[in-house]
Amino acid sequence: MSYQVLARKWRPNSFAEVVGQEHVVKALSNALDSNKIHQAYLFSGTRGVGKTTLGRILTKCLNCEEGLQSSPCNKCQACESINEGRFIDFQEVDAASRRGVEETQQLLETVMHMPGSSRYKVYLIDEVHMLSKHSFNALLKTLEEPPPHVVFILATTEPENVPATVLSRCLQFHLKNLTPTQLSDRLKEVLSEEGIKYDDESINQISRAGRGSLRDCLTIADQAIAFCNASLTDSLISEMLGTLPYDKVYELIDCVINEKADKLVKNLREISSLSVDYQRLMDLLLETLQHMAIIQISPETVSDLNLPSEDIIPLSESLKAEEIQLLYQIGLIAKRDMDLAPNIGDGFEMALLRMMSFLPEEKETTQSKKKVVEDKAELKEETISKKSSSKPTATTKNDTEKKKNSLAFLDSKEWNKIFNSLKLGSGTKQLISHCSFLRAEDTVIYFSMPKDKLEILNGTHREKFQDCINAALDFECVIFFEEGEALESSPNKTKQKKKAKRLNKASEAIKNDPAVKNILDSLGGTIIESSITPKESQ
Ligand SMILES: [Zn+2]
């Protein structure tokens, strides 16, 4: 049998196999199990995080011959043919290569035809933001009144470039980048199943190079298997990626911090004899500096970032926060300018020497060395006490999370309270104030919004709103806007009502004020109602 690339071979076939994206999987499963089908879904997120994979699983859920359910059988004819990409009622279109309005219209003409033998005709439009303006208009017409047997699944890396009118028809799910730990764990599973040998650091390197995308990780793993002859080691992976193993990067930073100029130059000579990609190496260096800064703030992130604590903690403790910032800035500028150097390796070398020369010299005196040691000891103690004190708070957080794991407490009064506390920009907040809370089901919150407002609510507004609401609720939810009249309960109307009430009160107060009465009686005249403004701070 010919070699099948890992990303394809290990593509999840069910929601249970999907790595990460728990909030999306849960919302979709709940909806399917209670027969709530939306006619348009939008999956957004960076490349290789599972948008089309989720789309395909959803298609199977909708059409599995064993019934509509969140766990398709993967055995029936429908499931199998969807897996093999030959299901007649499942159309997968890449909008990047079919942007034109004719192509879109051709596709949409088939929407009216009833499905062959399945329940739903599913259209998956990938990279939907690439559609032309006319194509979007054609799509919108169909989305406004879709035949009941049709489901659209739109996928995009750039939701901000999808027209607000189209977004307003979709249940939108934002897929997150996977964490290094999620990627490493999955890589280990796949490689073990494949019978490939690996060491931990080689896995860490691949998962970092994948930058949040499982597909990219598996593609790099494919190359690595070929390059390393089925036994992945740290040094071979570095060679393949044109970088250095992490411990080498730590060593370079250690040389800079502790002014070991001789050792630094020796290391750099060694590096120049390897075929190293200096841009990537600078990326690694910058990434490490960033990790050091983060670890200074919260030491417990070491395990989240999957970093060797014995190496990176001492490094981050030996610099002040502003010194890390300084090195980062020098590195960033060097990355931009390195290509201008007569030779990129020289540019890299000069950048490291510059970092060294810009660090304050006081480090050299024994007095300050001693101080550094003392500081380190203090920091360690603090770290330890932080760690031990962080435990109880972690459990309480867990408890509240459990409590909050449902949106049942939400009603329009609660929502208005939450709305007032949202830290949104004034434009977005003004727009969102026109939406009224309708209901919360499982993890989905439904809002109603007048059509004219809905049509200006773009992807950026939605994303900001989604982030804010997740933060405010401390809970991953999905928001959905339905078109509808502005309800009396919307934050905007509530505010207007309050304002009117205050105005009334102010006007009453003025009319009944004895001093004002006196003036009116003695001098004659009337109160100009429109000139009354209540005090804002009430
Ligand atoms: Zn099935």
Partners of 198 in the β-ladder: 232
> What gap in Å lies between CA 537 and CA 500, rounded to an integer?
14
Q: Residue 324 C-alpha to ligand 1 middle, in angstroms?
A: 55
pLDDT of residue 1: 55
Distance 61 CA to ligand 1 centre (A): 8
Strands 444-449 and 436-441: antiparallel
- CA separation for the pair 430, 154 (Å, rounded): 28
Are the folds of 180-241 and 412-489 the same?
no
Could you list which residues have their CB under 5 Å from ion ligand 1?
64, 72-73, 76, 79
Kind of pairing between the strands at 40-44 and 150-156: parallel
- Whole-number pLDDT of residue 403: 44
Gap from CA of 31 to ligand 1 centroid (Å): 18
CA of 95 to the centre of ligand 1 (A): 28
Give residue 47's identity as a one-letter amino acid code: R
CA–centroid distance, 75 to ligand 1, in Å, is 5
Distance 78 CA to ligand 1 centre (A): 6
What is the per-residue pLDDT for 368? 45
**And the tokens for 132?**
């032309």
Task: State the pLDDT at residue 402.
Answer: 42
Beta bridge partner(s), residue 240: none
The alpha carbon of 108 and the centre of ligand 1 are apart by a number of angstroms equal to: 26
Cα–Cα dist 166/158, whole Å: 13
For helices 344-358 and 321-337, angle between their N-to-C axes, nearest 10 degrees: 160
End-to-end Cα distance, the chain: 76
pLDDT at residue 490, rounded to an integer = 85
- 379: left (phi > 0), else alpha (psi -120 to 50), else beta? alpha
Backbone angles phi, psi at 90, to 5 degrees: -125, 110
**d(CA 76, ligand 1 centre) in Å:** 4
Give the architecture (CATH level 2) of 246-359. Up-down Bundle (1.20)
Taking the CB of residue 357, how many other CB atoms lie within 10 A of it? Answer: 12
Q: How is residue 472 written in tokens? A: 């405010």
- Give the span between the Cα atoms of 513 and 125, in whole angstroms: 67
Q: How high is the pLDDT of residue 49?
A: 92
**Class of the CATH domain delimited by 6-174:** alpha beta
What is the CATH number assigned to the segment(s) 180-241? 1.10.8.60
412-489 sits in which CATH class? alpha beta
C-beta separation of 491 from 416 below 8 A: yes
Q: How far, in Å, is the centroid of ligand 1 from the Cα of 56?
A: 12
Domain boundaries, the chain: 6-174, 180-241, 246-359, 412-489, 492-531
Q: Apex CA 441: angle with CA 437 and CA 445, to 5°?
A: 35
The rounded Å distance from CA 73 to ligand 1 centre is: 4
Helix H, strand E, coil C: the string for 282-334 is HHHHHHHHHHHHHHHHCCCHHHHCCCCHHHHHHHHHCCCHHHHHHHHHHHHHH
For the chain, which residues score pLDDT lower than 70? 1, 361-405, 536-538
**358-415 tens-digit pLDDT:** 888 655 433 444 444 444 454 444 444 444 444 444 444 444 444 456 788 888 888 8
Q: Which residues of 336-355 are buried (b: 16+ CB within 10 A; e: fewer)?
A: eebeebeebbebbbebbeeb
Q: What is the pLDDT of residue 121?
A: 95
Rounded Cα distance between 7 and 222, Å, is 9
